[in-house]
Structure 1
Amino acid sequence: MREEPPTDVLPALASPPPAEPPHEESDFFADDEYDDYDEYEGDYEDYDDYEDEPEKPRKKKKGKRALGWVAAIAVIALLAGGAWYGFNAIFGYEDFDGAGDSDVLFQVDDGDSTSAIGAKLATAGVVASGKAFVKAGEDNPKLAKIQHGFYVMKTHMSGASAVDLITSPSARVGQLEIRPYTQFDDITQPDGKVTPGIFSLMAKASCAKLNGKSTCITADDLRKAVDAADLKQLGVPDWAIEPANKADRKDRRLEGLIAPGLYDVRPGSSAQEILGQVVRSSTEAIQNAGLSPQSTGPGMTPYQTLIIASIIEREAVKADFGKLSRVIYNRLAINMRLQMDSTVNYVLDRPTLLTDEAERQKSGAYNTYKNAGLPPTPISVPSPDAIQAAVKPPEGDWVYFVKCEKNGLSCFAVTNDEHNRNRELARQRGVI
């Protein structure tokens, strides 16, 4: 610790200077000889030269004080204006009134934050400022759950109106969900209900109403676009172009080349544009699932592997994918016909059910009871799990299978006798 220096002693203050003696008034006018001054009639011309008239300092002080007040008011006004500008820049924001004017299509990209969405809305003329949108949505938990996609908004909306609209289910358009097992044509279920196929799903996703005008395209529009399309321009992978062009119908050339998933379709796009967008995204997804020219099933091309994966998807539940894949490979290896009901029902636009004898006797490229080998194209949308099962089938000698559980599981057999016993078990359980 440092030592504190001793306190300095202040020197005594010097004694104040002596006061000046009081000023004595002049006796200039005191003498009696000037008592008659008012009566003097002499010449006053030289009196003005005696001394100039002193200025009036009080008037000057008033002028300076006025200027000072004006300057002070100006400074205060400038400071107040600057403070307001700074406050408004930091805490204030512009905002429109009301629910908006005309419709506008707005896109939220994957990963957009609330502030990013607000900035985009301001750029699109939906809100006056991004801050208006962000402030209005501070207490709305739905805003944090906004997903990427297209939304129908309005121009010149207040921040609160924009938050309410974009978080409502009716605002989002262009959603396309494609699930495994789906095919391009609609499927009629046993109870008569229709399960929409890819053509119908795309047509629905294209629909929105912008300023009273519909953006919908039809399933027939899409079908015609596939029929007339250049597959390479659509984004079909090179390994699939030649075999896909051998389909029995041109509108079936994209079967199996659409990957399952969620897609954002821009309403107002043409049929060709929608198809191209979905196909290009699917090509990447199929490769990510493990199928490529360098990764195929044993002795198969990539397209043949895709066909096998589509049959696996339609014939089995996920737990049986591997075993069914092995059954297909084993039958092909011994030149046994695949005899898959799913391929017969594909042409009939029905789900995988047992077929009768008359149906199995019908001719056609997809009848694997009548024709040896694989059908000409895939028959459904295969999942990544089905693709993996087709690329890497497990080891096994199974040649036969039959659904023997009500949950969809199958019983597999190596010999026909064993298969017949499994069929009888399935009947006892009411499965077939």
Structure 2
Amino acid sequence: MTDLFHEPAGDEAPAPPSRSHRRAAARRRNQRRKNVVSFLVMVLALVLLVGGAVVFIRPLLTHTPPESNDFPGPGQGSVEVVVDDGDSGTAIGETLTDAGVVKTVEAFTNAYSANPNATSIQAGTYELQEGMRSVDAVAALLDPASRIDLRLTVPEGWTVAQIYGKMADLLMVPVEDVEAAAEKLAASALPESAGGELEGWLFPSTYTLSPDDTPASVLERMLDKMISELDAREVPEKEREALLIKASIVEKEGTEQYWGKIARVVENRLEGCSGDGRLGMDATYVYRLGKKANDITSEEWRKDDPYNGREGPPGLPPTPIGAPGTGAIDAVLDPPAGDWCYFVSVNLETQETKFTDDLKQHLKNQEEYRQWLREQTSAPTETGE
């Protein structure tokens, strides 16, 4: 047996580790301690980091921003507000806040102060929206189009006398000033066939007046609008006066659904369907006398007046009898074909109107109308020819 297989006796102690072994073991123990400490430091740092994030981020996630003192706009609906003479920005803001136009007086006064033109806001009645941004409310108050009391609305059929009176009120001038401006405009801008009369030439619409407007400037705008409508329809200048006369009569004699037929009756009457070339329509004489048809006396009906469609001269009256709109103008320009010579509204509630070319049938239709009148508690003005 060789010593390669020799084992020490059981009572022999193992040889002690060498110095190098002891130093290696110590280094390993130190490294393990350092690793543990580093790990603990990392864990602590991570805990601190997460905790700090929670502390700082949570308020950001749960924070509710302060409520704005202004509406986001743009607004909806409409509301009328009045700015009184001498109102300050704060006073206007209080008015708008009470009306629900702006959210707070503070927001409005800030917008008012930021707009260098805000001090130019005029006293008057304005149409604004509810829920507007304050800057938009200031801008609207500076826009003349928002001024209700500076809107001249001319309905279809209004006469120049009605237009002049309304314009004088809005511009706060004597009606004589408006009439003088109208006379100058008529002399310089109307075709010769108009005879120097603006009646029928002022287009019915809504016009916004600015503080700089005068009777002359507003009248000119209204005349220009009518001329532009006639230009668009390519109406020859020499035919315009007659067209406006016919259209004004058509508009006064019936409702829109019958304008075309009434326009044809006008043409047929002028061509002699009734035997005398007279229009026979009450509206022209009503215009002349300024009273209702059944208030006109028998003596007045017998007068030979150019506006008296029953006993006056044949043909058209000298001027239009109001301001016709585009609907009546178009009806005259293109009336439907038909041989109707007479018409009468047999029921003023439904506006049912009957047309015929036979005088006997027309008389029966008139009697139908009178029967309807007898069934009413009050008798309205008779219409129809």
2:203 counterpart residue number: 259
Q: Which amino acid aligns with 1:204?
A: D
Q: Secondary structure at the match of 1:394?
A: coil
1:361 counterpart residue number: 302
The answer to whether residue 186 in structure 2 is matched with residue 242 in structure 1 is no
The structure 2 residue matched to 1:331, chosen from 259, 269, 282, is 269
The answer to whether residue 170 in structure 2 is matched with residue 205 in structure 1 is yes
Report the CA distance shift for 1:308/1:97 in structure 2 as closer, same or farther (over 3 A).
closer
The answer to whether residue 362 in structure 2 is matched with residue 419 in structure 1 is yes
Q: Secondary structure at the match of 1:403?
A: strand
Contact 1:291 1:391 in 2 (8 A): no
1:222 counterpart residue number: 178
Provide the rounded CA distance (Å) in 1 between the counterparts of 2:183 and 2:163. Answer: 15
Counting matched residue pairs gives 257
CA-based RMSD of the aligned residues comes to 3.5
Contact 1:203 1:218 in 2 (8 A): yes
The structure 2 residue matched to 1:345, chosen from 260, 283, 286, is 286
Provide the rounded CA distance (Å) in 2 between the counterparts of 1:143 and 1:217. Answer: 35
Task: Write out per-residue CA displacement over residues 140-176 of structure 1, whole angstroms, 9 at most, x where no aligned residue.
Answer: 64649xxxxxxxxxxxxx9598379669999544210
Q: Which amino acid aligns with 1:365?
A: P
Provide the rounded CA distance (Å) in 2 between the counterparts of 1:222 and 1:166. Answer: 27
TM-score, length basis structure 1:
0.52
Q: Secondary structure at the match of 2:285?
A: helix
1:394 counterpart residue number: 336
Provide the rounded CA distance (Å) in 2 between the counterparts of 1:391 and 1:331. Answer: 16
Report the CA distance shift for 1:353/1:278 in structure 2 as closer, same or farther (over 3 A).
farther
Q: Which amino acid aligns with 2:282?
A: D
Report the CA distance shift for 1:380/1:225 in structure 2 as closer, same or farther (over 3 A).
same
Q: Which has the higher helix share?
A: 2
2:226 counterpart residue number: 282
Provide the rounded CA distance (Å) in 2 between the counterparts of 1:227 and 1:378. Answer: 16
The structure 2 residue matched to 1:318, chosen from 256, 275, 278, is 256
1:303 counterpart residue number: 241
2:316 counterpart residue number: 374
Provide the rounded CA distance (Å) in 2 between the counterparts of 1:166 and 1:280. Answer: 26
2:352 counterpart residue number: 409
Q: Percent identity?
A: 27
Listed as ranges, the gaps of 5+ residues in structure 2 are 1-87, 93-110, 121-128, 374-379
Report the CA distance shift for 1:272/1:166 in structure 2 as closer, same or farther (over 3 A).
closer
Listed as ranges, the gaps of 5+ residues in structure 1 are 1-95, 101-117, 128-139, 145-157, 186-196, 207-215, 295-299
Contact 2:151 2:209 in 1 (8 A): yes
Offset, 1:309: 0.5
The answer to whether residue 102 in structure 2 is matched with residue 124 in structure 1 is no
Provide the rounded CA distance (Å) in 2 between the counterparts of 1:254 and 1:168. Answer: 27
